[in-house]
Amino acid sequence: MAAITILVLSLLPKEAISDVSLSDKFLHFAAYATLSFLAYFSFIKSINIKLTLKIILVCFIYGAVIELLQPLVGRNRENMDMLINAAGVLAGTTFCILLNFSLRRIKRRLF
């Protein structure tokens, strides 16, 4: 659902979302951090380094493809947006890894 929401909002005409008061770059970062967070935790039972890298790669590619499609709907393609998307993916995934590690440590101590 997060991926569809990002797709729709990214391809809407700029006029349709001009009332958003938050920074465009913050929204990109937050959207892709959320996307990678949800992707990581949807595979939490079977997560490993190879799957983590695949999640990162898919999220990177997804963000780049959407950015490349934006000129087709009258929006601007911005390289900085791609970099911010990538930073969000890395931040979201890093947060998940740390959270997962912490939760596993707590679980081991309790049981």
pLDDT in tens, 49-86: 999 999 999 999 999 999 999 999 988 899 999 999 99
Judge whether residue 12 has pLDDT over 90.
Answer: no
Element housing 34 (H / E): helix 24-42
CB-CB contact of 42 with 59 (8 Å):
no
pLDDT in tens, 22-57: 788 999 999 999 999 999 999 988 889 999 999 999
Alpha-carbon distance 107 to 69, whole Å?
A: 44
**pLDDT band at residue 20 using 50, 70 and 90 as cut-offs:** low
Largest CA distance in the chain: 56
- Within 8 A by CB and 6+ apart from 14, the residues are 74, 75
Span 13-30, average pLDDT = 80
